[in-house]
Every structure is written in structure tokens, then in C-alpha cells.
Amino acid sequence: MAKQSDVLSADFLVKVAEEFGTPVYVYHAEKIKTQYEKLQKAFVKADARFFYACKALTNINVLRYINSIGCGLDTVSIQEVQLGLKAGFDPKNIIFTPNCVDLQEIIAAKDLGVNINIDNISILEQFGNQFGGSYPICIRLNPHIMAGGNFKISTGHVDSKFGISIHQLRHIERIVKSTKLKVTGLHMHTGSEIKDVDVFLRGVEIMFEMTEHFPDLEFIDLGSGFKVAYQQGDPETDIDLLGKKLTDAFNHFAKSYKRPLQLWFEPGKFLVSQCGYFVVKANVIKQTTATVFVGVNSGFNHLIRPMFYDSFHLIKNISNHKGTERIYTVVGNICETDTFGWDRKINEVREGDYLVFYNAGAYGFEMSSNFNSRLKPAEVLVKDGKAHLIRKRDTIDDLLKNQVEIPL
């Protein structure tokens, strides 16, 4: 059906929509592999490892595929850890970086044998008091760097809930010394959609300074935040330039450290964003005195990023891609304002046409809900030119399965 490339054609997506119905999320395995290989190539001269930030997309088939190409897994909940293990990841290839969880969740991850990353003083002290140096840990630091494409996805600034402030280093040292904690990793993540390579360089310089306080390190984890293009001409992180500059800086520093160091990254959106296509159907064309709306059979219950982050998704009409361009505002069928895009140039849309949202692989289905009692869409994975159903579309029974009826 599809060509052996990492791009799915409009005709192919129409066939998927006809076979599986809409709305439907479609993921292209080969594109994930292409993105992973870009990272490997960019950091080929560094001892680097990559852990997929699976909060972007956790379908177990996607996880299994990512494991098969040799990538590790970054998780933020014990449930993501469990999914990773079910998908076949070795515990040593999973890093667990939760936020604002209690000690019991940390202990559960320890019992599963994964790498643990602790991001607050309270848990660090509790874990150290209970386990001392019997289980190695990583510490997440807040470098106080403002970065990212949106304040909501900036995680390293002074008011962020993430990480332990670098200005609390003396407190960290006291806990490590008194509880005999073994710290084998340092971690930071400043935000998502970072275009400026120098942001990473500023961050790694801070991490280099921190290492002198931790003699047993095995790795430095710089998180991710690599930006991908959402439309033609969009700026994105220059991965090759980043790889060269970071490799040079890291290799130079590693020579002065007392033991071998690895460089870890946790790409999420970079790996899966561009692999994803969200296909919907035009329900109605509604013209007002000022605007022509295309109302589709979806809403922010399926794709919330445009409303939550003001993010841009390219929208095309794949049923009439040779039609005359007109200006439309694309909206959903939810009883809230759920505008996907204002004043978009799209080939003429007729009721019943299929539209596709590009770059829908990251934080699309993963952030979906059953708001308005609408059903979640199906998911399809395309591999080797063949489309596979990897999640059935919700039914009304899915809305009711965990509800308990009582006598009234």
C-alpha cells in the first residue's frame, strides 16, 4: 500500500480512513526509526544513550517497536514503567523520573529494578534513610534556565516544580553524606521545543560544575526538548550542530572526570511527533457573516494541543487535494470552544471530506479524554507498508465499564 519511505501519502491515509473509520490516529514506524537514526548519527562520537520519553505516546505496540530499534525508555509514572516492562524493555534500559509522587511509588520502581531519578529534597532524604547506598540513584537538578516554546512546557526556570534547585546543593550533599546515598547520575531538563543549541550548552556547563560534588557518576542526563518543524519553514533544533557542539564539550570534560561518563538524552516529541497523522471527517460547512467553519467529527477531547498550548498543526484536505484553496476555520464537535486552526488555507472542503492533522504523534491520543461522553478514536500503526489496528475505537461499554450502579 504505502511506499517504503517515512512519509505517508494522502491517498494512503484516505484508504486507512476508509478501512478503520474516523477519527483515527495513524503512526508510521519507519519515521520513528529515521528520527532515532538522526540522533545516533549526530552523537556518533560520544558515548551517548537515548531513552524515549513515552509520555508522548504509550501504545504498547509503539513501545515494542521503539525497543526493537535499540532505544531505551524514559518514564514518569509507575504505570509507564509497567507498560515498558510489558513491552519488553530491560529494567536497566528504563529511567523513572516522576514528579510529586510519594515514596511508595519510588519504592515500587526500585523493586522493579529500573533507574530512579529523584527530583525533590523530601523524597531524596526519605529514600536515603530507608535504603542508603544499597540502590544507586540519579538526582534531577533545576538549573534555573528559562527555555522552551511555551511557559507551560518550560521546566527549568526558577518557579518550576521540577527538579532540585542548584542553589540547594549543600542540602543535597548533607543528605547524600548522612544517608550514604550512591549517586550515579545527574539529570536536568529545561523544557520542550528548544531552538537554540546554546541552551543545551549552558545547561551542560552547569552540570559539569555539579559533577565535582559527586565522585561516583556514571552518566549525565540532559533530558531533551529537541524541536521539530510543524510547518514548512518552521525553525527546529539543528541536531547535527547540537551533536557536534555537545560532543566536543562533553568529550573534553569527560577526560578530566575520574571515571567513564555517558551522555543520556530523553527525546519524546522528536521521535514520534512527525510519525503521527490524525485523520478526521468534515461533518458540516457552516458559514457565518465573517467566517467559514469546517466542523469535524473530533474536538479537543482527541487533540487538545492547539487549545492547551496554542500549538500549530498543518491541516490538509486529503479527499480533494487538487481543489481550489479557500480560507476556513477548523473547529470540533465538542460543546466548548475547540478551534483547531483559524483562517487556514485549505483546498475546498466538502461535507464528508477527510482532513488530516500532521505532526500528531506526540501528545495527541495520549492526552485524549471522553469529554462530552465522546468515544476515543482508533489507533493504527503502519509498518512495512501495511496498516495494523493497534487500538480499537471506544464503544459505549468503555464509558460504563468502571462505573458502579447502585440502588436508587
Binding residues for pyridoxal 5'-phosphate: 225, 363
Active site residues: 335
Distance CA 281, CA 226 (A): 31
Three cell numbers at 88?
A: 519488553
Task: With CA atoms as reference, report the closest residue to 26 among 366, 369, 358, 314.
Answer: 358
Element (H, E) at 339: strand 339-347
Q: Which residues of 244-257 are buried (b: 16+ CB within 10 A; e: fewer)?
A: bbbbebbeebbeee
What DSSP state is assigned to residue 391?
E
Give 27-74 as a DSSP string.
EEHHHHHHHHHHHHHHTTTS-EEEEEEGGG---HHHHHHHHHTT-EEE
Distance CA 385, CA 129 (A): 53
Element (H, E) at 19: helix 10-20
Q: Are 157 and 181 in contact (CB under 8 A)?
A: no
Nearest 10 degrees: CA dihedral of 298, 303, 308, 311?
-110
Q: Residues with Cβ < 8 Å from 135, sequence gap 6 or more?
A: 110, 116, 182
Distance CA 362, CA 287 (A): 32
